[in-house]
Chain A
Amino acid sequence: MRRLPVYLLLDTSGSMRGEPIEAVRSGVEMLVGMLRQDPYALETVWLSIITFDREVNIALPLTSLESAVVPEIKAPESSPTHLGEALKVLCGEVQRDVIRNSEGSKGDWRPLLFIMTDGAPSDRAQFTQSIVDVKGLGFGLIVGCAAGPKASVDAFFEFADHTVKLDSLDAGGLKSFFTWVSASVSRGSVSQGVTTGPELPPPPAELVLVV
């Protein structure tokens, strides 16, 4: 069976504390709930959630949607945004878990990556190194979401296929982001091409596609 690995990288830095992180959590719950209603996703999607602040935490290792239980997502008191480190951890995970076609194994669909941050990478040097590696992993789709007034889209321009901007960090906005992620994943491998990633559904009003 071909799996569609989906990676979520979520910013849990200090600035996410409070309502935003709670909204992220319920957004992830909602995402999982929605995907469970999609037979394609239910049979195909494997989900991994990696959170990052000062530390990078593999909150959910690559797990079938069927058995995935949404982990707790917390934001520590105050902490920087180590996106570069997170991407480095991600590379290790993808290299280990995503199956490539070979004589004796049926390859996965190209993995999808969704990243949400409300800031900019604090570990610039590591970030620059990491994005080179990430680009080499064969992701079918990389979507960056810059959420809230302080989020920078520039970092995403360096490696994401699509960058969306969310003006505020409130529950409504984040909810619409995760709804959109769910729709994108549902389309996922259905429309996944050989050289091009899957087409994205049009983003909701709260999300601005930054070109």
Chain B
Amino acid sequence: MSNEVSPRITFQNDQSRLRLARAFSDSGIGNEKFSNLTNWLTRHTSVSAAARGRLIRAVTEYRLKLAEVVDLLAEVESTLKPGPNAYGEHLESVSGSSGLPANSGDRASDSGLRNQTVSPNAASAVTSATNRPSDRLGLIAAVPSIRPGTSRQVNQKPLDQKVPAANAMATENRAYDREGARLKPKIMSLRIPNANCKQEYKLPLQQVLEEENPAIKFTSSFPSGLSLLEGSIVGTPSTPGEYVISWSIDNDLGRSGEFLLTINPDPRSLWKDIPSDHTDKYFKPDTDKALVITHSLGIVAASIRGRSHAHVGSFRDDDFRIDAPEENDSLGWYIVCVADGAGSAKYSRRGSQIACEETVNEIRNILRSKEDGVAQELNGRSMAACVEEKSDAAFWTRTLYHVFATAGSKVLSKIRDEAESSNAKIKDFSTTLLVAIIRRTQADAWFVGTYWVGDGAIGMWDKSWPSPKLFGEPDTGEFAGQTSFFTSEDFSKGETVTRRLRYTIVNDFGYLALMTDGISDAKFVTEQMLKENEPWALFSDDIREIISEIHSPESNADVKLLNWMDFWSPGNHDDRTLMLVVPKKHQIDS
């Protein structure tokens, strides 16, 4: 009975039809249903421009199922033409009756109905298609047709051009009845702020609807975990996804619409743990741990594959080595390393492995060599060293330089050899390297010499100290992930190597830590914080149990460290390696 007041939709030509058909088939809706729908659209009835726009949107978004499209159309339809006009009926009876002749709507008319989809401030993230629907898929809207006997009413209609202030993110598609009275503005789609799975959410409705105490009724259910409480959508959502929540407000404006809500998944639930390929020639176990206890020191280390690597089944690129003296070793040198293979280099896991293994080997050889005069000097003096001797920087720098540069260049040539035999470049083995040599002196002090290239950190902390000792500067570029690598070191340039050397002589210390950036980024965040006491105190609290465990008779500090290392830190999903060197009698517990 009221077809006369509805604009209709026709297809411009066959090509438009084809394009729409393709969009439908792309969306997986299926051709059969599509042809029912389009037949209905073209031959039988009137659809508002708003509905048409939404249809196109639905189609182009590839999201809505046909049933939802049908619902949308029916909803708009029913506003325009109260009565038995359910969309579904038309869909079933494609060849059915009562429509207007296909082109009868081409007569232009200035009926107010032309304005029904005008949304002057449309800035909707969701229903923008209603503005220019005819552009989209080649559909054209026919102007409303007027049946004899109804034109008077139509022409009499005064137009209410005022559109209530729309939310910045909303589009209202407004309809008017034949008397010019405003009908319910329909389909107000509001994109509301995203929620996160398993995190509390609160959205005061007043804020989005710009209405005081809206008497809002929800006509669809809430995503699980969310509910309406005192005028707000509140709760802790449990299921990620895109949700449409329909609502209406019972007041004179009679607004209704829907909220479009995105619930982000909890990233923790998305990480996969794919084992790395154990048949690979450079296979490395996804975790590693070690515990070495001597009469004077406990050393514990653990290394785990980062989430980002586990997610794609790639390898752990980090590595570490511990070399402790035998009981009868009169020299008593501890040599420890951690290394972080560059994520971007294909064999970096092997690079970090060679770097650690060979550095330990080479340094041990040098320190034990009777022919190496400089090493002998370092051996002799560091063995006797007491804290006062720390001030002889020239001596320590010269001897440490000799040890680290000699060892370093040998290690580098081993990596080069390996690269050559694998038909690769040394760049493919890029790795950082953090080394420390430690010994107990006869003056009951500790001598510690370090060489550190790349990011991560070597630091020493004691609760009685005003600040930590940081053994260098992390090498970072302008952006994250940029650092210098051991594999690019030029050992012929004294200056570069000297810059990376540090040493100290202390009577006592809480612990010495060597870590890759998977730990330092998560626990210290910035370079500045690596230098401050507070972050180290917090870090020490964090690992207190591990440290106090090290020297206990049945220590499983390595297992504890490995477990601890799996801590959750959003955005920090690199490999993690941490080594702790703890003097015996010492516990950081108070």
Q: Which of A30, A36, A100, A172 has the most CB of B within 10 A?
A: A36
B181-192 interface mask toward A, CB cutoff 8 Å, 1 = contact, 0 = none?
Answer: 000000000010
Residue B342, interface by CB 8 Å: yes
Q: Is the interface of B mostly helix, strand, loop or mixed?
A: loop
Q: Check A44 against B124 for contact (C-beta < 8 Å).
A: no
When distances are taken between beta carbons in the complex, the residues of chain A under 8 Å from B196 are 66
In the assembled complex, the Cα of A33 lies from the Cα of B270 at a distance in Å of 14
A161 to B412, CA, bound (A): 32
**Complex Cα gap A103–B344 (Å):** 25
A183-203 interface with B by 8 A CB criterion: 189-194, 196, 198
Which residue on chain A has the smallest CB distance to residue B569? A1
Contacts of A196 in B (CB 8 A): 344
With the chains together, A103 CA to B40 CA distance in Å?
67
B193–A67 contact, CB under 8 A?
A: yes
Is B136 touching A19 in the complex (CB atoms < 8 A)?
yes
Q: How far is the CA of A103 from the CA of B527 in the complex (A)?
A: 5
Interface assignment of B128: CB less than 8 Å from any CB of chain A = yes
Q: Which of A2, A17, A140, A192 contacts B343 (CB 8 A)?
A: A192
A101 within 8 A of B: yes
Residue from B137, B480, B569 in contact with A108 in the complex, judged by beta carbons closer than 8 Å = B480
Say yes or no: is B265 at the interface (Cβ < 8 Å to chain A): yes
B482 near A194 (CB under 8 angstroms)?
yes
Complex CA gap A70/B242 in Å reads 13
Q: Which of B212-261 contact A (CB under 8 A)?
A: 240, 242
A18 at the interface (CB under 8 A from B): yes
Cα A177 to Cα B355 with chains together (Å) = 42
Q: Would you call A72 and B128 a contact (CB within 8 A)?
A: yes
Whole-angstrom distance from the CB of B314 to the nearest CB of chain A?
8
B274 within 8 A of A: no
A74:B128 contact, CB within 8 angstroms: yes
A133 within 8 A of partner (CB)? no
**Are A192 and B570 in contact, CB atoms less than 8 angstroms apart?**
no
A30-B240 Cα distance, complex, nearest whole Å: 15
Q: Which one of B19, B307, B482 contacts A39 once the chains associate, using CB atoms below 8 Å?
A: B307
* A171 contacts B26, C-beta separation under 8 Å: yes
Residues A70 and B137 in contact, CB atoms below 8 Å apart: no
B344 touching A1, Cβ below 8 Å: no
From known contacts A26-B61, A72-B125, infer whether A37 and B265 are also in contact, taking CB-CB under 8 Å. Answer: yes
> Using an 8 Å CB-CB cutoff, how does the interface string of A1-23 with B read, 1 for contact, 0 for none?
11100000000000001110011
Whether B479 lies near A100 (C-beta < 8 A) is: yes
B93: CB under 8 A from chain A? no
B573 & A43 in contact (Cβ 8 Å cutoff): yes
Interface residues of A in 25-82 (CB under 8 A from B): 25-26, 29-30, 33, 36-40, 42-44, 66-72, 74
A95 at the interface (CB under 8 A from B): no
| Minimal Cβ-Cβ distance residue in B for A100 | B478
Q: Are A42 and B265 in contact (CB under 8 A)?
A: yes
A26 CB to nearest B CB, Å: 5
Q: Assess whether B62 is interfacial by the CB under 8 Å rule.
A: yes
**Contact pick for A189, options B122, B268, B478, B480, CB 8 Å:** B480
The answer to whether B476 has its CB under 8 Å from any CB of chain A is: yes
Cα distance A163–B194 when bound, in Å? 34
Choose among A68, A106, A194 the residue that contacts B521 (Cβ–Cβ < 8 A): A106
We find that the number of chain A residues with CB closer than 8 angstroms to chain B is 54
Chain B residue nearest in CB terms to A27 = B60
- Bound form: Cα–Cα A72–B127 in Å: 9
Interfacial chain B residues near A105, Cβ < 8 Å = 526
Whether A194 touches B62, Cβ cut-off 8 Å, given contacts A18-B135, A39-B270, A106-B525, is: no
Please give the distance in Å from A11's CB to the nearest CB on chain B. Answer: 16
Q: Give Cα distance in the complex from A18 to B270, angstroms.
A: 36
Chain A residue at minimal CB-CB distance from B484: A194
A127 at the interface (CB under 8 A from B): no
Nearest B residue (CB) for A197: B344
Q: Nearest Cβ distance between residue A136 and chain B, in whole angstroms?
A: 11
Interface residues of A in 75-125 (CB under 8 A from B): 100-110
B264 within 8 A of A: yes
**How far does the Cβ of B454 sit from chain A's closest Cβ, in whole Å?**
10
Q: Which residues of A contact B22 (CB under 8 A)?
A: 171-172
B416 within 8 A of A: no
Q: Are A106 and B194 in contact (CB under 8 A)?
A: no
* Inter-chain contact A192/B481, CB cutoff 8 Å: yes
Roughly how many angstroms separate A110 CA and B483 CA in the complex, as a whole number? 13
CB pair A172–B343 under 8 Å, yes or no, is no
- Taking the complex as formed, is A138 at the interface, i.e. its CB lies under 8 A from any CB of chain B? yes
Residues on the B chain within 8 Å of A44, using CB: 571
Write out the residue numbers on chain A whose beta carbons fall within 8 Å of the beta carbon of B483.
194
With A22-B60, A138-B478: A190-B521 Cβ-Cβ less than 8 Å = no
User: What chain B residues lie within 8 Å of A175 (beta carbons)?
Assistant: 26, 62
Which A residues touch B19, using CB under 8 A?
Answer: 19, 170
Contacting pair B267 A42 (CB below 8 A): yes
Min CB–CB distance B535 → chain A (angstroms): 12
B271 close to chain A: CB less than 8 A: yes
Indicate if the CB atoms of B479 and A190 lie closer than 8 Å.
Answer: no
Q: B338-357 toward A: CB 8 Å interface, digit per residue (1/0)?
A: 00001111000000000000
Query: With contacts A18-B136, A101-B479 known, is A39 near B572, CB below 8 A?
Result: no
Shortest distance from the beta carbon of B478 to any chain A beta carbon, whole Å: 5
Which of B26, B242, B482, B485 is in CB contact (< 8 Å) with A172? B26
| Chain A nearest Cβ from B477, distance in angstroms | 7
The answer to whether B479 touches A109 (Cβ under 8 A) is yes
Chain A contacts for B56, CB-based, 8 A: 22
| Cross-chain contact B480 with A109 (CB below 8 angstroms) | yes
Which residue of chain B has the shortest Cβ distance to A30 in the bound complex?
B62
Do A72 and B124 contact each other (CB < 8 Å), given the known contacts A106-B521, A192-B343? yes
Given contacts A25-B128, A69-B169, A74-B128, 9 further A-B contacts (CB under 8 A): A1-B572, A2-B480, A40-B573, A66-B264, A70-B125, A102-B526, A110-B480, A138-B479, A192-B344
26 residue pairs from A and B, CB less than 8 Å apart: A2-B480, A2-B481, A2-B521, A2-B572, A19-B136, A19-B138, A22-B136, A30-B62, A36-B265, A39-B267, A66-B194, A69-B125, A70-B125, A101-B476, A101-B482, A102-B527, A103-B526, A104-B527, A108-B479, A171-B26, A192-B343, A192-B344, A193-B481, A194-B481, A196-B344, A198-B344
Residues of chain A at the chain B interface (Cβ within 8 Å): 1-3, 17-19, 22-23, 25-26, 29-30, 33, 36-40, 42-44, 66-72, 74, 100-110, 138, 140, 170-172, 175, 189-194, 196, 198
Closest 10 CB pairs of A and B: A193-B344, A1-B571, A39-B270, A18-B135, A39-B267, A2-B480, A104-B528, A110-B479, A103-B528, A101-B476
